[in-house]
Structure 1
């Protein structure tokens, strides 16, 4: 087997005496068995922070999640925190989800921080990502870490790093932490020895603080009281949500919540699903069947770290249908803004936020209520960054992204499925009091603002070869930009890597005022928006398509929906190659 110089150097170092015997033995086994592809994928690079932090397959190697890569990342973060907050007593919060090894990794992270003289607030049991974000803010921490790989398959784990605002690391801190991590050249530079006096365990009593703060955000408590028997089905898909979502719904006033027992036990093997992702119909299928059996008003499910939520409601035919992330986000934005207006609580400095690949219906709704709508790069950390930047100047109300992440109110700086579940339930109760289902309200929005239909296609390209293929796909799109998509002429090309928007019709160029990101967008003469973006947390390239048409009345819904679906398929067939 012949490897490039850097890969070989990493392999050699991992067979040295610096590493424990089990690690060395596993690397040697891969070498002896001639596992060339696995060795390349495990050692060709170091794990890097993406839109969701450090994430990868568990196993030995510099590009895998293990004791040493997590220890190195934590030591680098500790070193950076000590430089940035020189002379201060540094505090961090640490939590973990239900994934295999998450608890072990969580305690490992706490050990390294404590060994560096940093005080750690460590959750004594698994808790969701939003609770960790709240803890960072509540305890006045300078940082935090959540051990989770979100909705990825069971072989993955991850490491979300947080700053003192409770949001995930953004520039310049993300790159600066990587520089500190890269400066660690020896395992001996990592302090693994736990100092118990620097660790405070956080118990379930913290749930009451988080839940109590959230209940104060309720907009229509009277609607909840009138419909407290609202029939809710909830699944945690073997994740952390079961620890707190039922308690949140109960505290909110809902007393008819049905837990999907088959998926209630936290389990990193996720035995009842292929992927623990509420975006997938397969992952929601058990909950939806229970919803049908019980004739529920709403079905909800959260991912393993409970920062994303999937929703199913009855359609006009009376069967449960999944809402996509754009639809859920649009409903939440409309509910919050319309309710605030009805109560005369909207202020001039209120705002909402969405990402560049999230439906423009959110912007249209916000505009109609005179509420400014900010747009950010993909990844909720950028929404959190806007929130932190505008503290004391403007008032955040609601925001979200198409990937099923939403946040109402500013208690945390990350997407929050626990908070969202409560608001989705309240929204369902409120509109039920008006004689409408959420699907009815969605159609109302389409009639008022236009029928938006979106589709996401993800292509998985694993390993080093896959990463190179994804890179080449983006190069090809830049060098050979399509003149039309689905038979519709492209009028504008937005390149977020070059921070330039090019008007094809006039030949003029304008600057995009956002940080650089490897994203391309094509806007057609019909106003369709098609985006291409390599994932920051998964070995995937993602293609997003959003189209719009007038919906004249409710009876036209099925016909317009079918026409839009056919248009999306034509467009996607043109842009998705491979």
Structure 2
């Protein structure tokens, strides 16, 4: 990679120091291109994100698109990027985006390259808005500062799913030698094939989300004070614009975190899902300004966290599932006001991933709309939403417990910008009735049944240990293809195994959702209304478990329900994890 003197000198240093292990780490194996694209540290070598690996990836992607679309040269692609940068290797999202643009332009493909940083949702929005063949977003979302990523969208405006990942991966392997023009970003940036969609998309995006603003008068007069943090990422100006589009008072911005800073100086990890630590400065500003609600985006603004000050003076950070309940309730409430005709509800859909709360299922059962679950990850919800929209259905909401929300079908992916504005309107509306978010959440649970969840994980670097854990569950008590029928004092009423494709609830015992041999995932349903899923993570060395107790409406003994769930989790850890427990590390406190 001598075209980049910085990565070259990093390699020369390692050679000089005879740092064999470090060199192996950089050069032993190529980053794997999967359905989430790429995500890795910036640095030298084929296992890292750098100028060369970006060129190789884009050459492969370009060739794959040429095979897939006869009209790629008429339609083109969009490329966006966040504010990440890694001075030691000279890598940055902007640099990677311009190299990717140069690759496409060298093949005569029109490129819509944003002239400035944007939130991730702008890329899928642009693909749909301009009818392009594909989109690339250069971002590592909420990962640590040294990482970067390359996220890919298909012509339908959703993230790619299999078999595109395999096809792209193969094409990358076949195009490793950089094409002569691929390095020439200066020429590319002067090319008539290069367009800047920034202004047009900015206007059209806010016009599209405005359709989801239903209480303009309330928003204008609302006295509610809201704090927003973009955690040193791209979100600040876009959330300000979204509030403006909804006629909401601008949120107070956390000064120390509002400007993009690739060093993320005020947070250990720039991930609002981690809760308290990331929100410390937001709470301080809220207390100073007398604000009751805090909204936080992750650095690429596709996810949203919310906290609210309680009467006790403590801050409550809502879980992703609790926000799913609140936003789902609110969006249905607004939709019903707009559509009083009772028959229309038969055309309405909400989605969530299989490890997320089943609260939407409970609301759908009572209100008469459709609820569907998909595999984990927004790529599945985005693609399913596209299918439903193409069939003339209305998809109003989709969410996953990892604080991802799709509140507007103009973006078929999670979108923290539109979610922030829609949450702002919900807060303003509830305030006119003197209701807090916490109170509204209780009302939802009282009406549709309490849904209490508890999720965690174990760290495990050994694939054999993971395999033996899951194999034991599939051959329980030493019997082949038999699953446990109980777990401690809890009896199991159904099992779905999305690794093997088994589902005890189906007549033919075959799972309806797509299955994948390459990842482990088993869901147990208990006769007390409990649901537990154990799965391996696609991006981290973790065995995750997700549990939820779904109570019937009217059962409001929360203390008892919480204890029941705690007991269920203890039983799962004791009975299902026990044989390999000494080889697992618990989640760090």
115-124 or 58-67, which moves further after superposition? 58-67
Structure 1 residues 553, 262: CA separation in 2 closer, same or farther (over 3 Å shift)? farther
CA distance in 2, matches of 1:96, 1:474: 39
TM-score by length of 1: 0.88
Equivalence for 1:201: 196
Matching residue within 253, 257, 266 for 1:263: 257
CA distance in 1, matches of 2:182, 2:407: 39
Q: Does 1:192 align with 2:183?
A: yes
Matching residue within 347, 352, 360 for 1:349: 347
> Where does structure 2 lack aligned partners over 5 or more consecutive residues?
86-91, 477-482, 585-589
CA distance in 1, matches of 2:495, 2:328: 28
CA distance in 1, matches of 2:444, 2:28: 49
CA distance in 2, matches of 1:445, 1:572: 30
Equivalence for 2:426: 427
Matching residue within 236, 240, 249 for 1:246: 240
Give the CA deviation at 1:262: 1.3
Matching residue within 33, 38, 46 for 1:54: 38
Q: Does 1:304 align with 2:299?
A: yes
Matching residue within 257, 265, 275 for 2:269: 275
Equivalence for 1:326: 321
Structure 1 residues 45, 488: CA separation in 2 closer, same or farther (over 3 Å shift)? farther
338-347 or 366-375, which moves further after superposition? 338-347
CA distance in 2, matches of 1:479, 1:154: 42
Give the CA deviation at 1:306: 0.4
Structure 1 residues 149, 125: CA separation in 2 closer, same or farther (over 3 Å shift)? same
Equivalence for 1:6: none
Equivalence for 1:3: none
Equivalence for 1:174: 165
Give the secondary-structure state (helix, strand or coil) at the position aligned to 1:526: coil
Give the CA deviation at 1:551: 7.5
Equivalence for 1:11: none
Equivalence for 2:155: 164
CA distance in 2, matches of 1:543, 1:34: 42
Give the secondary-structure state (helix, strand or coil) at the position aligned to 1:62: coil
Q: Does 1:75 align with 2:59?
A: yes
Can you list the C-alpha shifts for 1:84-141, whole angstroms capped at 9, x where unaligned? Answer: 1124424111111122211111112112121221111111111001112111122221
Equivalence for 2:289: 294
CA distance in 1, matches of 2:5, 2:469: 41
> Would you identify which runs of 4 or more consecutive aligned residues in structure 1 move more than 6 Å?
none
167-176 or 73-82, which moves further after superposition? 167-176
CA distance in 2, matches of 1:45, 1:483: 42
291-300 or 53-62, which moves further after superposition? 291-300
58-67 or 37-46, which moves further after superposition? 37-46
Equivalence for 1:9: none
Give the secondary-structure state (helix, strand or coil) at the position aligned to 2:372: strand
Q: How many residues align?
A: 554
Structure 1 residues 569, 128: CA separation in 2 closer, same or farther (over 3 Å shift)? farther
Q: Is the 8 A contact 1:407 1:414 kept in 2?
A: yes
Equivalence for 2:82: 97
Q: Does 1:128 align with 2:126?
A: no
CA distance in 2, matches of 1:191, 1:205: 28
Q: Does 1:64 align with 2:58?
A: no
Structure 1 residues 321, 20: CA separation in 2 closer, same or farther (over 3 Å shift)? closer
CA distance in 1, matches of 2:7, 2:464: 28
CA distance in 1, matches of 2:400, 2:455: 13
Q: Does 1:224 align with 2:219?
A: yes
CA distance in 2, matches of 1:468, 1:45: 20
Give the CA deviation at 1:240: 0.8
Structure 1 residues 363, 553: CA separation in 2 closer, same or farther (over 3 Å shift)? closer
Q: Is the 8 A contact 1:551 1:557 kept in 2?
A: no
Q: Is the 8 A contact 1:45 1:63 kept in 2?
A: yes
Give the CA deviation at 1:257: 1.4
> Where does structure 1 lack aligned partners over 5 or more consecutive residues?
1-13
CA distance in 2, matches of 1:501, 1:371: 25
Give the secondary-structure state (helix, strand or coil) at the position aligned to 2:547: strand
Q: Does 1:516 align with 2:518?
A: no
Equivalence for 2:532: 530
1:144-163 superposed matches below 5 A: 144-163=135-154
Can you list the C-alpha shifts for 1:442-466, whole angstroms capped at 9, x where unaligned? Answer: 11122222221212223445xxx55
Structure 1 residues 49, 370: CA separation in 2 closer, same or farther (over 3 Å shift)? farther
CA distance in 1, matches of 2:254, 2:559: 31
Give the CA deviation at 1:30: 3.9
Give the secondary-structure state (helix, strand or coil) at the position aligned to 1:348: helix
Q: Is the 8 A contact 1:47 1:56 kept in 2?
A: yes
Q: Is the 8 A contact 1:124 1:201 kept in 2?
A: yes
Structure 1 residues 484, 371: CA separation in 2 closer, same or farther (over 3 Å shift)? same
Give the CA deviation at 1:552: 5.0
Can you list the C-alpha shifts for 1:453-484, whole angstroms capped at 9, x where unaligned? Answer: 212223445xxx55666556545554556554
Equivalence for 1:378: 376
CA distance in 1, matches of 2:32, 2:46: 10
CA distance in 2, matches of 1:405, 1:303: 10
CA distance in 2, matches of 1:355, 1:263: 31
Give the CA deviation at 1:224: 1.9
Give the secondary-structure state (helix, strand or coil) at the position aligned to 2:346: coil
Equivalence for 1:453: 452
Q: Does 1:85 align with 2:80?
A: no
CA distance in 2, matches of 1:116, 1:468: 45
Q: Please, what is the CA RMSD of the aligned residues?
A: 2.7
TM-score by length of 2: 0.87
Structure 1 residues 333, 390: CA separation in 2 closer, same or farther (over 3 Å shift)? same
CA distance in 1, matches of 2:338, 2:258: 38
Equivalence for 1:5: none
Equivalence for 1:362: 360
Q: Is the 8 A contact 2:7 2:43 kept in 1?
A: no
